[in-house]
Amino acid sequence: MKKAILVLSIILMIIVLVQSWLVGVGGTMFNDRLLAWGGLAGRLLALLFGAGAVFVLPRPLVSAVIYLAGALLGILFGLFTGYYDMILWGGLALLLAGGSYYAWSVEGKRSVPEEPVREISHF
Amino acid sequence: MRRRMAWFSPGWGRRCKHLGKTALLTFLALMLAVGPVWPVSAAAETAQQGFASGGLLAAVGQAFEAAMKFTWREQVAGRPIPEQDLSAALGSLNEFSLAVLRDPRLAEIIDQVISDLVTNEELPGGIQKNKEFIAEIIRDPRLEQVLGEIIADYLQDERLARDIEDFFNIIFDLITREDLHYFIRDSLAALVEHKSLEKTINELLLAATGMIYSAGSDAVAALLADERVPLVISELISIVAGSVPETVSLLLVEDNNRRILGVAEDILLILAQYGGEVTLDILEDIRLRESLADMLLLVVDPHLYLAVASMGTGLAEHLLEKTAEGLTADETLENALGNLIHDFFMAGAQDYFLDSLTELIKQARSRAKEATPEDRRVVVRVGFVTIADEPALVQKSIADALAKVPPQIAKYAVFMWLVDGNPSPPYSQTPGLDPVPRTYRQWGRDLGGLLKQNNRAGELAAALSADLRNIVYGFIEENGSHISDSLRAAIVELPLEEAAAEIRRGGRAAELLRELVGRIIGCLPLEELAQCILEEADIAGVIEELSEDFVSELPFDRASRLLLEDRRLIEALEGSLPHVTLAEVAETIRRDERIIAVLADAAKNLPVDRIIDFIQDERRAALIGGAIARTLLNLAADFVADEELAVFLHGVLIEAINSLEGTPGILVTDVLSRFLENENFAGNLVNSLYEFTYGVKTELWQIYREIVPRFFTHALWRFI
């Protein structure tokens, strides 16, 4: 589960990064300030995808929080900047956040509580 | 403890490997993301930078931007464009476009090109191939050649002359229309008052001034550093020095004897009556006393002339020595030489130099004229009759202008910069400058300063004294008896008793001295002495010898260095440059009615016949046709290279071919012809010219907004 989230995160990071770069350049070229800010937010979202991928294996809960932040960022900027694909990326980030949370919860249930070590005296 | 140790177990190593790879990818992504952040900040910066960015290119860019803004009616809330008038003017050119488009050769070649392309196996569908398809049609060299030929043929058509005349008639009429005046005037003013243009012009002025000054000062410095210049001046001094004996002889001729006598008497009287430091020195000098004693022995000594000669030479030597000392004690020598040289130059030397340099300029221009070829000829023909056939002489004109520059610089260098020291106030502050009086005096003062250095004046006086002594003694030895007889006769006639009595009484000493000197000098054969001096004296040689030292110490190097290093002149020049304020020019353009009059005059005087003849020349028509065809087709090909347009035009072509009644070429040209024949074409064209760039940019922006930020959403919806 966690490995699947890791791979998806990296693929999404690359796609969002390239698209956001194009959007940012276009916004600057045509003097469209909103579009330019949308591109910048998209690049930040791509970074958050990367950061989530970093923590998903050791700390899935941290990844879940990062993805959640990315989802909020993507949906907000997607609604107001004209960069509508950001809503899609925000939704996917939300899904990844759910996945990470699930992985963390499953991991918590599977872990066996440590038994106290009994010390046996040979004497 | 065991839990802690679990971090370092072998399983954790694999985790670290994953973590490392992920971190590396993230880092690369971070680099990619941070890089493109600049466009957003750059957008904000460029708006603020504005005119701060220097350079001609930036300024031209700004001017172009201003023109675009004006075109979009954002900058000037001026009068509306006289659309109807311009439409009428442009309408007269419709014939040209229609004649070209209806030419059967054009349709034929388009058919040929299209058929070649369609039969090509590498023409599958798709957007990319459509673009290439249309661009290939337009860029085909055959099309360019045929279109060029058609345009050339049309340019040579007799009907074109009438069209051009009509066009210019309409333009001339337009010139007198007020609306167009105001439009042109406002356009000019709006473009002129743009700040970047003003900055560019001022920068160009400064740069040009610096460049011209640097070139001129380098040339003059090179001239001054030339080792031949001191040689030229040495020759000049030798010529001047050669005239000194003649001057002396002039002083000694008979006509001047009386004046010399008067001067000598005056000197003696002054010496006797007024005294002063110099005279006291002389009177106290033992040699003077001896000379006076010798004079008292006149009556008893038969070798009187030798005593007189001794007295004369001794007195002369002493006087020269004292003169040298007295003159060099203060600024007297400098002032005297300054005045002398000033008079010398003003009396004719300046004219001589100016004439020489003018002659030099003439020769330089003549040589430049001979050295450059006649590069091209301008031939004006009406029909088969040649009205004018004259050489253009472009190279000759350039060479002629260049040939004038070095001698002019040399002239100014000789008269303004030869001697160290800049004028004060600077030349730039003295309009109609006349550097002559001050500079010549400065030369003289410098020579005086050189004379004072190392007791050169004393050396010159000693040399002159020695020469005089030798000459006088030699002369006396040869003419001793004659002088003796004359003096004896004179002295015999002297009223010695009366003189002695008067001296005792202390009364008529002055009259006595005057009479005494007059009689003595009157007996001397001065003319012969002058001749002797002329023949034997080597005064010129002495002066030349001394002048070599002067010339070697003239500050040529310093003057040259000064020219190169002294920034005062260029600073003064730059300071005196007018700062061009185009806002005022723009205001003047708006207010000044003369500009409109000038436009009207220019229109009236435009030689339409000449223009028609020029265009209809066979060779020129071919060149113009080729250039127009190439430009239009390349422009169209670039335009068509836009993907959306390519798709659109491809669709139009396919539909046209499908509904074909004639060939594709005829169809295309007919469509274009109908479009041009439309009555509103000219008006639409005028509007299109103004809105073309704005429209293209807006369209591209809309397309970009539609495609790039929604690409994946669209794809997803389609997939679903």
Calculate how close chain A gets to B35, using CA atoms only, in Å.
9
* Residue A48: HSE in the Cβ half-sphere, 13 Å Cα cutoff: 25
pLDDT band at B654 (very low <50, low <70, confident <90, very high): low
User: B710: which chain A residues are within 8 Å (Cβ-Cβ)?
Assistant: 84-85
Question: Residues A43, A48, A52, CA angle at the centre, nearest 5°?
Answer: 150
User: B705: which chain A residues are within 8 Å (Cβ-Cβ)?
Assistant: 26, 32, 35, 82
Q: Tell me if chain B has a CB within 8 Å of the CB of A52.
A: no
For residue A11, what is the nearest residue in chain B, using CA coordinates?
Answer: B25
Calculate how close chain B gets to A122, using CA atoms only, in Å.
22
pLDDT of residue A69: 94
CB under 8 Å to B645, separation ≥6 — which residues? Answer: B639
Cis peptide before B425 (omega within 30 of 0): yes
Closest Cβ–Cβ partner in A13, A24, A88 for B713: A88
pLDDT of residue A94: 93
Distance between CA atoms of B686 and B84, rounded to whole angstroms?
Answer: 9
- Amino acid symbol at B106: L
Closest Cβ–Cβ partner in A19, A54, A57 for B26: A54
Q: What is the mean pLDDT of residues B259-288?
A: 45
pLDDT in tens, B117-167: 555 545 444 444 555 666 666 667 777 777 777 777 766 666 666 666 666
Mean pLDDT check: name the lowest of A18-22, B244-248, B690-694: B244-248
Which two structure tokens, joined as six digits, stand for B64? Answer: 């172009």
More confident residue, B654 or A93: A93
Question: Are B709 and A44 in contact (CB < 8 Å)?
Answer: no
Calculate how close chain B gets to A7, using CA atoms only, in Å.
10
pLDDT in tens, A30-55: 888 888 899 999 999 999 999 999 99
Ordered alpha helix ranges (H), B493-593: 496-505, 509-523, 526-536, 539-553, 556-565, 568-576, 582-591
pLDDT band at A87 (very low <50, low <70, confident <90, very high): very high
Question: Residues B456, B458, B464, CA angle at the centre, nearest 5°?
Answer: 105
3-state helix, strand, coil in chain A (%, to 5): 80, 0, 20
Give the burial class of B158: count Cβ atoms within 10 A of its Cβ; 0-12 exposed, 13-18 middle, 19 or more buried. Answer: exposed
**pLDDT > 60? residue B705:** yes
Q: Tell me if chain B has a CB within 8 Å of the CB of A25.
A: yes
pLDDT band at B434 (very low <50, low <70, confident <90, very high): very low
User: B713: which chain A residues are within 8 Å (Cβ-Cβ)?
Assistant: 84-85, 87-88
Q: What is the mean pLDDT of residues B662-671?
A: 57
Tell me the Ramachandran region of residue B506: left when phi exceeds 0, alpha when psi lies from -120 to 50, beta otherwise. Answer: left
Residues 688 to 707 of B: which have CB under 8 A from any A CB?
A: 697, 700-701, 704-705
Distance between CA atoms of B268 and B527, rounded to whole angstroms?
Answer: 22
Distance between CA atoms of B505 and B46, rounded to whole angstroms?
Answer: 107
- Per-residue burial over B642-659, b = 16 or more CB atoms within 10 Å of its CB, e = otherwise: beebbeebbeebeeeeee
Calculate how close chain B gets to A86, using CA atoms only, in Å.
8
pLDDT of residue B96: 58
Q: What is the mean pLDDT of residues B279-290?
A: 43
Q: Which domain holds residue A17?
A: 2-107
More confident residue, B51 or B423: B423
Distance between CA atoms of B38 and B689, rounded to whole angstroms?
Answer: 34
**pLDDT > 80? residue B324:** no
Closest Cβ–Cβ partner in B29, B40, B710 for A24: B40
For residue B12, what is the nearest residue in chain A, using CA coordinates?
Answer: A58
User: A6: which chain B residues are within 8 Å (Cβ-Cβ)?
Assistant: 18, 22
Cβ atoms within 10 A of the Cβ of A44, count?
A: 19
**pLDDT > 80? residue B52:** no
At B385, give phi and psi (nearest 5°).
-95, 130
Q: How far is CA B710 from the centre of its chain?
A: 60
**pLDDT > 90? residue A99:** yes
In a domain, A120, yes or no: no
Q: What is the mean pLDDT of residues B250-273?
A: 48
More confident residue, B502 or B199: B199
Which two structure tokens, joined as six digits, stand for B576? Answer: 């005196």
Dihedral of alpha carbons A9, A15, A20, A25, sign? positive
Distance between CA atoms of B240 and B543, rounded to whole angstroms?
Answer: 9
In a domain, A118, yes or no: no
Which two structure tokens, joined as six digits, stand for A70? Answer: 């990315």
Asked if B218 contacts B413 with a C-beta cutoff of 8 angstroms, the reply is no
User: A32: which chain B residues are within 8 Å (Cβ-Cβ)?
Assistant: 701, 705
Residue A121, helix vs strand vs coil: coil
Q: Please give the interface size between A and B, counted as residue pairs whose CB atoms are below 8 Å apart.
A: 106
Domain count, chain A: 1
**pLDDT > 50? residue B273:** no
- Element at B443 (helix H, strand E): helix B436-452
Closest to B673 measured CA to CA, from B92, B101, B148: B101
Question: Are A17 and B29 in contact (CB < 8 Å)?
Answer: yes
Distance between CA atoms of B477 and B480, rounded to whole angstroms?
Answer: 5
pLDDT in tens, B497-544: 555 455 445 555 456 555 655 665 565 565 665 566 556 556 556 556
Closest Cβ–Cβ partner in B26, B33, B36 for A25: B36
Question: Are A50 and B30 in contact (CB < 8 Å)?
Answer: yes
Distance between CA atoms of B158 and B615, rounded to whole angstroms?
Answer: 11
Question: Are A88 and B712 in contact (CB < 8 Å)?
Answer: yes
Asked if B325 contacts B456 with a C-beta cutoff of 8 angstroms, the reply is no
What percentage of residues in chain B have a pLDDT greater than 90? 0
Asked if B218 contacts B560 with a C-beta cutoff of 8 angstroms, the reply is no
Distance between CA atoms of B233 and B550, rounded to whole angstroms?
Answer: 10
Residues 12 to 71 of B: which have CB under 8 A from any A CB?
A: 15, 18-19, 22-23, 25-26, 29-30, 32-33, 36-37, 39-40, 42-43
pLDDT of residue B41: 41
Distance between CA atoms of B447 and A38, rounded to whole angstroms?
Answer: 82
Question: Are B43 and A33 in contact (CB < 8 Å)?
Answer: yes
CB under 8 Å to B672, separation ≥6 — which residues? Answer: B101
Calculate how close chain A gets to B718, using CA atoms only, in Å.
14
Closest Cβ–Cβ partner in B15, B29, B712 for A57: B15
Q: What is the mean pLDDT of residues B399-409?
A: 61
What distance separates the 2 farthest-apart alpha carbons in chain A? 86
Q: Where are the strands (E) in B299-428, listed by range?
A: 377-382, 385-391
Q: What is the mean pLDDT of residues B63-82?
A: 46
Dihedral of alpha carbons B232, B234, B237, B241, sign? negative
pLDDT in tens, B371-400: 666 655 556 565 566 666 666 555 566 666
Tell me the Ramachandran region of residue B84: left when phi exceeds 0, alpha when psi lies from -120 to 50, beta otherwise. Answer: alpha
Q: Which residue has the tokens 């003097």?
A: A31
Domain residue spans in chain B? Answer: 72-175+607-719, 226-336+450-564
Closest to A42 measured CA to CA, from A55, A27, A62, A63: A27
In a domain, A18, yes or no: yes
In a domain, A116, yes or no: no
Question: Are B33 and A17 in contact (CB < 8 Å)?
Answer: yes
**pLDDT > 90? residue A68:** yes
Asked if A95 contacts A83 with a C-beta cutoff of 8 angstroms, the reply is no
Asked if B78 contacts B183 with a C-beta cutoff of 8 angstroms, the reply is yes
User: A91: which chain B residues are within 8 Å (Cβ-Cβ)?
Assistant: none
More confident residue, B199 or A29: A29
Which of A49, A84, A86, A95 is most worth mutating to test chain B (most B CB atoms within 10 A of its CB)? Answer: A84
Dihedral of alpha carbons B36, B37, B40, B44, sign? negative
Distance between CA atoms of A17 and A39, rounded to whole angstroms?
Answer: 9
Asked if B440 contacts B338 with a C-beta cutoff of 8 angstroms, the reply is yes
Paired with B391 in beta bridges are B377
Q: Tell me if chain B has a CB within 8 Å of the CB of A88.
A: yes
pLDDT of residue A96: 93
Distance between CA atoms of B480 and B485, rounded to whole angstroms?
Answer: 9
Question: Are A85 and B19 in contact (CB < 8 Å)?
Answer: no
pLDDT band at A71 (very low <50, low <70, confident <90, very high): very high
Calculate how close chain B gets to A101, using CA atoms only, in Å.
19
Asked if B291 contacts B314 with a C-beta cutoff of 8 angstroms, the reply is yes
Q: Tell me if chain B has a CB within 8 Å of the CB of A47.
A: yes
Distance between CA atoms of B464 and B317, rounded to whole angstroms?
Answer: 8
Residue B48, helix vs strand vs coil: helix
User: B36: which chain A residues are within 8 Å (Cβ-Cβ)?
Assistant: 20-21, 24-25, 39, 43
